[in-house]
Structure 1
Protein backbone atom coordinates (compact mmCIF):
# COMPACT_ATOMS: atom_id res chain seq x y z
CA UNK A 1 0.00 0.00 0.00
CA UNK A 2 2.92 2.35 0.58
CA UNK A 3 3.37 2.36 -3.22
CA UNK A 4 -0.01 4.06 -3.69
CA UNK A 5 0.76 7.01 -1.37
CA UNK A 6 2.91 9.48 -3.30
CA UNK A 7 3.59 12.33 -0.86
CA UNK A 8 2.00 14.73 1.62
CA UNK A 9 0.94 18.05 0.11
CA UNK A 10 2.11 21.33 1.62
CA UNK A 11 0.51 24.31 -0.08
CA UNK A 12 -1.27 27.38 1.29
CA UNK A 13 -4.71 25.76 1.29
CA UNK A 14 -3.47 22.51 2.84
CA UNK A 15 -1.65 24.41 5.58
CA UNK A 16 -4.95 26.16 6.42
CA UNK A 17 -6.64 22.74 6.53
CA UNK A 18 -4.19 21.63 9.24
CA UNK A 19 -6.03 23.95 11.65
CA UNK A 20 -9.16 21.82 11.06
CA UNK A 21 -7.16 18.62 11.68
CA UNK A 22 -7.24 17.71 7.97
CA UNK A 23 -4.19 16.33 6.16
CA UNK A 24 -3.69 16.10 2.39
CA UNK A 25 -1.89 13.38 0.43
CA UNK A 26 -1.28 12.74 -3.26
CA UNK A 27 -2.08 9.12 -4.04
CA UNK A 28 -2.18 6.82 -7.06
CA UNK A 29 -5.31 6.93 -9.23
CA UNK A 30 -6.06 3.28 -8.36
CA UNK A 31 -6.07 3.88 -4.59
CA UNK A 32 -9.47 3.84 -2.90
CA UNK A 33 -10.65 5.74 0.16
CA UNK A 34 -10.79 2.53 2.19
CA UNK A 35 -7.20 1.59 1.34
CA UNK A 36 -5.87 5.04 2.19
CA UNK A 37 -7.88 5.12 5.44
CA UNK A 38 -6.47 1.74 6.55
CA UNK A 39 -2.95 2.81 5.65
CA UNK A 40 -3.13 6.15 7.53
CA UNK A 41 -4.69 4.51 10.62
CA UNK A 42 -2.15 1.69 10.64
CA UNK A 43 0.97 3.68 9.84
CA UNK A 44 0.36 6.73 12.05
CA UNK A 45 -1.81 5.14 14.75
CA UNK A 46 -4.64 7.70 14.46
CA UNK A 47 -8.42 7.45 13.92
CA UNK A 48 -9.77 8.76 10.58
CA UNK A 49 -13.26 10.31 10.79
CA UNK A 50 -13.66 11.48 7.18
CA UNK A 51 -12.15 11.27 3.72
CA UNK A 52 -12.55 13.50 0.66
CA UNK A 53 -10.91 12.88 -2.70
CA UNK A 54 -10.64 14.61 -6.03
CA UNK A 55 -8.62 14.47 -9.23
CA UNK A 56 -7.21 17.88 -10.19
CA UNK A 57 -7.67 18.83 -13.87
CA UNK A 58 -4.98 17.92 -16.38
CA UNK A 59 -2.61 20.72 -17.34
CA UNK A 60 -0.80 20.93 -20.64
CA UNK A 61 3.00 21.05 -20.25
CA UNK A 62 5.43 22.12 -22.93
CA UNK A 63 9.11 21.17 -23.17
CA UNK A 64 10.44 22.86 -26.30
CA UNK A 65 8.61 21.44 -29.29
CA UNK A 66 7.16 18.55 -27.27
CA UNK A 67 3.70 19.00 -25.78
CA UNK A 68 2.16 16.58 -23.30
CA UNK A 69 0.47 16.00 -19.99
CA UNK A 70 2.16 15.10 -16.67
CA UNK A 71 1.26 11.91 -14.82
CA UNK A 72 -2.22 12.00 -13.24
CA UNK A 73 -2.79 11.58 -9.52
CA UNK A 74 -5.60 11.71 -6.99
CA UNK A 75 -5.58 13.99 -3.95
CA UNK A 76 -7.02 12.73 -0.64
CA UNK A 77 -7.99 14.98 2.26
CA UNK A 78 -8.04 12.97 5.49
CA UNK A 79 -9.91 14.29 8.56
CA UNK A 80 -8.73 12.99 11.95
CA UNK A 81 -10.64 12.91 15.22
CA UNK A 82 -9.92 15.78 17.64
CA UNK A 83 -6.73 15.22 19.61
CA UNK A 84 -5.01 13.10 16.93
CA UNK A 85 -2.26 14.46 14.71
CA UNK A 86 0.28 13.21 12.22
CA UNK A 87 3.88 13.97 13.21
CA UNK A 88 5.01 14.62 9.63
CA UNK A 89 3.45 18.06 9.71
Structure 2
Protein backbone atom coordinates (compact mmCIF):
# COMPACT_ATOMS: atom_id res chain seq x y z
CA UNK A 1 0.00 0.00 0.00
CA UNK A 2 0.99 3.61 -0.51
CA UNK A 3 2.48 4.92 2.76
CA UNK A 4 1.08 8.44 2.23
CA UNK A 5 -2.44 7.00 1.84
CA UNK A 6 -2.05 4.88 4.99
CA UNK A 7 -1.07 7.97 7.01
CA UNK A 8 -4.41 9.60 6.04
CA UNK A 9 -6.73 6.63 6.62
CA UNK A 10 -7.09 7.06 10.40
CA UNK A 11 -8.71 10.38 11.29
CA UNK A 12 -8.99 10.11 15.09
CA UNK A 13 -9.57 7.64 17.91
CA UNK A 14 -13.25 7.46 18.83
CA UNK A 15 -13.65 7.78 22.59
CA UNK A 16 -17.07 6.94 24.05
CA UNK A 17 -18.55 4.67 26.70
CA UNK A 18 -19.24 1.97 24.11
CA UNK A 19 -15.68 2.24 22.75
CA UNK A 20 -14.24 1.99 26.28
CA UNK A 21 -16.29 -1.13 26.95
CA UNK A 22 -15.08 -2.70 23.68
CA UNK A 23 -11.49 -1.97 24.71
CA UNK A 24 -11.88 -3.47 28.18
CA UNK A 25 -13.93 -6.51 27.16
CA UNK A 26 -12.69 -7.49 23.68
CA UNK A 27 -9.26 -5.82 23.29
CA UNK A 28 -10.74 -3.71 20.45
CA UNK A 29 -9.95 -0.07 19.72
CA UNK A 30 -12.29 2.25 17.83
CA UNK A 31 -11.11 4.77 15.22
CA UNK A 32 -12.85 7.27 12.99
CA UNK A 33 -11.61 6.54 9.46
CA UNK A 34 -12.02 7.84 5.92
CA UNK A 35 -15.34 6.79 4.35
CA UNK A 36 -13.42 5.28 1.41
CA UNK A 37 -11.01 3.24 3.58
CA UNK A 38 -10.97 -0.54 3.19
CA UNK A 39 -10.43 -3.04 6.00
CA UNK A 40 -7.00 -3.94 4.64
CA UNK A 41 -5.95 -0.27 4.56
CA UNK A 42 -7.18 0.24 8.13
CA UNK A 43 -5.26 -2.83 9.32
CA UNK A 44 -2.02 -1.72 7.67
CA UNK A 45 -2.42 1.87 8.91
CA UNK A 46 -2.86 0.79 12.56
CA UNK A 47 0.10 -1.58 12.33
CA UNK A 48 2.25 1.16 10.77
CA UNK A 49 1.33 3.98 13.15
CA UNK A 50 1.16 2.11 16.48
CA UNK A 51 3.61 -0.79 15.86
CA UNK A 52 1.09 -3.49 16.88
CA UNK A 53 -0.32 -6.66 15.30
CA UNK A 54 -3.97 -6.51 14.21
CA UNK A 55 -6.14 -9.64 14.24
CA UNK A 56 -9.41 -8.31 12.81
CA UNK A 57 -11.13 -5.15 11.60
CA UNK A 58 -14.87 -4.47 11.68
CA UNK A 59 -16.31 -1.33 10.06
CA UNK A 60 -19.54 0.57 10.65
CA UNK A 61 -20.94 3.39 8.50
CA UNK A 62 -22.73 5.85 10.80
CA UNK A 63 -25.40 8.09 9.31
CA UNK A 64 -25.18 11.79 10.12
CA UNK A 65 -27.80 13.17 12.49
CA UNK A 66 -30.42 15.67 11.37
CA UNK A 67 -30.19 18.88 13.40
CA UNK A 68 -32.10 22.13 13.70
CA UNK A 69 -30.14 25.37 13.80
CA UNK A 70 -32.79 27.91 14.77
CA UNK A 71 -35.27 27.82 11.91
CA UNK A 72 -32.80 26.16 9.54
CA UNK A 73 -32.66 22.38 9.17
CA UNK A 74 -29.31 20.77 8.64
CA UNK A 75 -27.58 17.39 8.55
CA UNK A 76 -24.24 16.31 9.90
CA UNK A 77 -21.93 14.39 7.60
CA UNK A 78 -22.01 10.59 7.42
CA UNK A 79 -18.87 8.98 8.84
CA UNK A 80 -17.21 5.60 9.19
CA UNK A 81 -15.70 3.97 12.25
CA UNK A 82 -13.56 0.89 12.58
CA UNK A 83 -13.31 -1.58 15.47
CA UNK A 84 -9.73 -2.90 15.42
CA UNK A 85 -8.85 -6.07 17.35
CA UNK A 86 -5.27 -6.56 18.52
CA UNK A 87 -3.30 -9.72 19.19
CA UNK A 88 -2.69 -10.75 22.78
CA UNK A 89 0.08 -8.75 24.43
CA UNK A 90 -0.31 -5.63 22.27
CA UNK A 91 -1.81 -2.36 23.52
CA UNK A 92 -2.41 1.18 22.25
CA UNK A 93 -1.96 4.05 24.70
CA UNK A 94 -3.76 7.23 23.63
CA UNK A 95 -2.69 9.25 26.68
CA UNK A 96 0.84 9.77 25.32
CA UNK A 97 2.60 8.50 28.46
* TM-score > 0.5 by shorter chain: yes
Query: Which residue number in structure 1 is paired with residue 16 of structure 2?
Result: 11
Residue 63 of structure 1 and its aligned partner are, at CA, apart by: 0.8
Does the CA contact (< 8 Å) of 2:61 and 2:79 recur in 1?
yes
Query: Which residue number in structure 1 is paired with residue 3 of structure 2?
Result: none
Q: Any residues of structure 2 matched to 1:14-53 within 5 Å, and which?
A: 14-19=19-24, 20-53=26-59
- Give the whole-Å Cα distance in 2 for the aligned partners of 1:3 and 1:12: 26
- Give the whole-Å Cα distance in 1 for the aligned partners of 2:70 and 2:77: 18
CA RMSD of aligned residues (A): 1.3
Query: Which residue number in structure 2 is paired with residue 75 of structure 1?
Result: 81
* TM-score, with length taken from structure 2: 0.83
Residue 57 of structure 1 and its aligned partner are, at CA, apart by: 2.8
Give 4+ residue runs of structure 1 displaced > 4 Å after superposition. Answer: none
Report the number of matched residues.
89
Residue 39 of structure 1 and its aligned partner are, at CA, apart by: 0.6
Q: Unaligned 5+ residue runs, structure 1? A: none
* TM-score, with length taken from structure 1: 0.90
Question: Within the alignment, does 1:87 sit opposite 2:93 as a pair?
Answer: yes
